[in-house]
A and B are shown apart, each in its own frame.
Chain A
Amino acid sequence: MVKDKFIPGRRSFIKTTCLVGMGLAIGIDSLARPFNIFHKNAAGVDVELSPFILIATDGTVTIVNPRPDMGQGTLQSIPSLIAEELEVELSQVKIIQSDGKSKYGSQTSGGSTSVRQLWTPLRKAGAAVKEMLIKAAANRWGVADDKCYAENARIFMKGTDKSLGYGQLAEDASKLEVPLNPSLKDPKDFKIIGKNLKKLDIPERVTGKAVYGLDIDVPGMVYASILHSPMIFGKVVSFDAAAAMKISGVQSVMKCERKMIHRMAEGVAVIASSWWAADKGRRALNVKWDNGGLDKTLHTETYFKACYDAARKSGINFEEHHDFQTKFNGAKLKLEVNYETPFLSHVPVEPENATVVVNDDGSVEIWAPVQGPAETLNEVADYLNVSPEKIKVNATLLGGSYGRKAYIDYVKEACFISKAVKKPVKVIWSREDDIGQGPYRPGMLSHMQGFVKDGRITGFHHHAIGESILGQVFKGLSDDEADGTICEELSTRNSKYQFAGAEKISWTNVKTEIPIMWWRSVNAANFAWGQECFIDELAHLAGKDPVDARMDLLNDERYKKVLQVLVEKSHYREKLTAGRGKGISLFSSFGSICGCCMTVSKVNTGIKIEKVVAVMDCGQFVSPDMVKAQTEGNIVMGISAAIKGGIIWKNGVCQHSNFNNYHVLRLSEMPELEIHIIENGEAPGGVGEAGLPPVAPALGNAIFAATGVRLRNLPIDINNLSMVG
């Protein structure tokens, strides 16, 4: 499906004015930067040879990156796929961000799909354009195509010193038929893919020049700070704006709405000439809210209690093989326990923000850090009820996201306010908004049952319990249905563990009003915790070493290899001094397999994380260093999720407001890291998320190895283990 969208179709000779102009059109030079990071401007006319490739008559090659960069490196990795086949160096091309238009297909950075989905289609796009340029040159010289070859943005005639630049051939090439099945390069000839090239956007990011959503300035723009309902869904009964209006710079105060995906929330916006004034005004507001019962429903303890109640009953079967329940009841050596994971906030360091102008003629322009330019365009078109052609999306660099900026409630707020005040408006959320308003990664419960026989783990049941994103947010789950998006990942078809006795995956949906959404690795990190710690518990029950017990369950060579390499690189078999321990875990998600080993040591009443070794099998990849960087980031976020955070709502009040009471890992807590990548030429897997799920269980298992304490609830207070257990 995706494929069709990306193969350059039959198209006519299109002259487009350079897309880079979009920043300059409104007279702000800085706006051009995020879309034109290498400062190359075409002097000639751009010729569109594919939606993703423009070649100007002066030779400038422009590549459109369809997946916004939130730190995962798509600004380089995705254009690399084209550049490799097109035979241009990255330093020779200008890279611009797609604008949400349908000709670029799906444009959401999410689900670790970018390289996986675009690997073949974008290589084909590059190869097709290269073949067209070769044909154009061959025609000009009156020789056969195979007498010509492409290199370094030029076409050469073999055995001669004749050559033509891409710019000289662009117009001719554009009149040719687009080959549907261009031949792709042999991976052994790759010059960009698989190589450790430096990221070209990094200089801008270390000099303060990179432009994020928060840095956008539009002439005539005003700022808005919004007092959201403290109980998220409370209704505005009345508000007193007198004190706010006295603050210098404050222009107006208005009731506004926050369109979340599944429901509407209300707020009061203060509009001012600076964000500081707007925010000061917001703090001076006096609003009366109708919270009708939200103090009861926004209460995490009630939710978890309902989850534990569900664990005592049977859920809806997703799959069951060999009558698990009867075998479990009859088993001699068995275990039944629960594993809990908390709600979490994404907390990207750049808070949610959006700059929008809704013009009198109904046209709309948006500048915002969003994971999905196309989704933004379509959702805003729906929300404002204007046709998509009237909307222009400028997707800026994202100062972190981790799933949060795929949820564009903040963009719609700016639309609502701009429409009302008839000016460009910049909405900036405070950190308190970000932490207190959700949506959150849902807290979940894993009810685990398992049995062992003759030193082997033979029976395994994972009962996944909690609120469903598919159900709550997308209203796509009926009450008698197991959430397939969650259960599929836990299925033995995916976990690759084979249990000789019986196995079962089941599900219970426990509902909550606390708004939830995707968070890096979605539910994989929730359930890897239960799966991988419980496998360890069963291994010990069977009298087996946890690695040997896993090996015994695996017959897929890729999984075995990851585990073998992990054992080797982490020196897992070496004896440790007393008070130290190593824990292993293995989990597959987003098309990749990641193994993790943690070493911890006892310190006073707690433990210290000394070292983390991760082994990643993501098949083919664009840049080994980017795979490493993503895995490092996942380890850090995975440790934060395991030992920090944990969003708690009590009687309708979020117990956290900012980084002083919602903690994330800091530099002094960083263990030593070691990442190993398996090279096997398999189909590309995702790298933005797959490294996260195995982190917490490796820690839980390491703590058990070092201290004998088995922890089943996250987050863990690693400084005080005696409090739990």
Chain B
Amino acid sequence: MAKYIITVNRKEYTIDVDPDIPLVWVLRDYLGLKGTKFGCGIASCGACTVHFNGNPARSCQLPISSIPRNAKIVTIEGISGVTLHPVQEAWIEIQVPQCGYCQSGQIMSAVALLKKNPNPTDEHINAALNGNICRCGTYDRIRKAIHKAAQIESSN
């Protein structure tokens, strides 16, 4: 066990954990941020996607000891303020989720994509979200919702 300080959703946390525990379990079981999900543990499903200094990252692949104190980590709980994020609004508008379990990861990937590329094509979307599995099969709606979110963001 060792002490670590990390910054999640602009808040600093001090935790005493095993150095190789992946971020996904720290978020879920130590910080109580359960919106980030676990699905494979090997970077193959995307359910655990968070933002690491603005980039989408698989939190199952980030041992706590590899995370600098000043790294900015954002989870699904941190993307909306008083109002929902435009991506979340679009997700509701298009009624994307079925079981919803994969959707935190899908949304985190989508938010990161739109930040870099406010008007993505289907090809850009394919490339950015191919690592996020949805076993319920909401892909078609995810694609539509990302276009919708791009529209909402540009009109804001």
Complex interface bits, B27-44 against A, C-beta within 8 A gives 1, otherwise 0: 011101111111111101
- B44 contacts A659, C-beta separation under 8 Å: yes
- A637 contacts B135, C-beta separation under 8 Å: yes
Bin the interface of chain B by size.
35 or more
- A248 contacts B91, C-beta separation under 8 Å: no
Alpha-carbon gap, A673 to B102, bound state (A): 21
Alpha-carbon gap, A668 to B142, bound state (A): 12
Alpha-carbon gap, A527 to B91, bound state (A): 36
Total residues of chain A contacting the partner, CB 8 A? 64
**Residue on B nearest A279 in the bound complex, by CB:** B41
Check: B104 CB closer than 8 A to any chain A CB: yes
Chain B residues with CB below 8 A from A586, complex form: none
Check: A399 CB closer than 8 A to any chain B CB: yes
Chain A residues with CB below 8 A from B75, complex form: 208
- B39 contacts A351, C-beta separation under 8 Å: yes
Check: B126 CB closer than 8 A to any chain A CB: yes
User: Which label, helix, strand, loop or mixed, suits the secondary structure of the B interface?
Assistant: loop
Alpha-carbon gap, A252 to B121, bound state (A): 53
Chain A residues with CB below 8 A from B32, complex form: 217
Which 4 residue pairs of A and B lie closest in terms of their CB atoms, listed nearest first?
A208-B35, A636-B137, A399-B101, A205-B100
Tell me the minimal C-beta distance from B142 to chain A in angstroms: 7
Alpha-carbon gap, A664 to B136, bound state (A): 11
Check: A449 CB closer than 8 A to any chain B CB: no
Chain B residues with CB below 8 A from A629, complex form: 95, 98, 138, 141
Alpha-carbon gap, A209 to B132, bound state (A): 19
Interface centre among A71, A211, A430, A667 (most CB of B within 10 A): A667
Alpha-carbon gap, A632 to B95, bound state (A): 13
Check: A350 CB closer than 8 A to any chain B CB: yes
Chain B residues with CB below 8 A from A206, complex form: 84, 88, 91-92, 96-97, 100, 103, 107
Check: A349 CB closer than 8 A to any chain B CB: yes
Check: B80 CB closer than 8 A to any chain A CB: yes
- B37 contacts A399, C-beta separation under 8 Å: yes
- A670 contacts B103, C-beta separation under 8 Å: no
Alpha-carbon gap, A198 to B94, bound state (A): 9
Residues on B close to A: CB < 8 A? 1, 17-18, 20-22, 25, 28-30, 32-42, 44-45, 47, 75-77, 80, 84, 88, 91-92, 95-104, 107, 125-127, 129-143
- B142 contacts A667, C-beta separation under 8 Å: yes
- B98 contacts A667, C-beta separation under 8 Å: no
Complex interface bits, A12-41 against B, C-beta within 8 A gives 1, otherwise 0: 000000000000000000100000000000
**Residue on B nearest A215 in the bound complex, by CB:** B34
Alpha-carbon gap, A211 to B104, bound state (A): 12
- B37 contacts A400, C-beta separation under 8 Å: no
Q: Which residue of B20, B36, B40 is within 8 Å of A208 (Cβ)?
A: B36
Q: A659-B44, A664-B133, A670-B143 are in contact. Are A632 and B38 (CB under 8 A)?
A: no
Q: Which residue of B36, B88, B135 is within 8 Å of A402 (Cβ)?
A: B135
Q: Which residue of B88, B99, B104, B127 is within 8 Å of A398 (Cβ)?
A: B99
Check: A455 CB closer than 8 A to any chain B CB: no
**Residue on B nearest A69 in the bound complex, by CB:** B99
Q: A205-B97, A276-B21, A670-B143 are in contact. Are A349 and B29 (CB under 8 A)?
A: no
